[in-house]
Copies of this chain bind each other. A is one copy, B any other.
């Protein structure tokens, strides 16, 4: 725990800050949950499921998730192109934490 307290360390260099940076925002958690439910998804299917997300936002968020190693992207060399997204092992390991955040929030948020 002690090494996690960033007194003189920038937040992003601590374990806590790193975790926070990966899950911050609205869509990362949503996408990870959908992939967790469905196992494999294609771009269009994801956009349909999430509903109100633009092509650009979804595309950028997927790129960040891939860069951070939370999802994998597999492209098949065919016409029309087919691209599949999956949770990586690292991404899978975040699910219990997302669950905990959801549950704690549901139990504690003012109604």
Contacts and interface: CB of A to CB of B under 8 A. Distances in A.
A15 B98 CA distance: 10
A18 B108 contact: yes
Interface of A: 1, 3-8, 11, 14-20, 23-26, 29-30, 33-34, 50-52, 90, 93-94, 96-109
Copies of this chain, complex-wide, total: 2
A37 to B, nearest CB: 9
Contacts of A103: 15
Given A1-B33, A7-B30, 7 more contacts: A1-B102, A3-B106, A7-B50, A14-B102, A15-B106, A19-B102, A24-B24
A57 B31 CA distance: 34
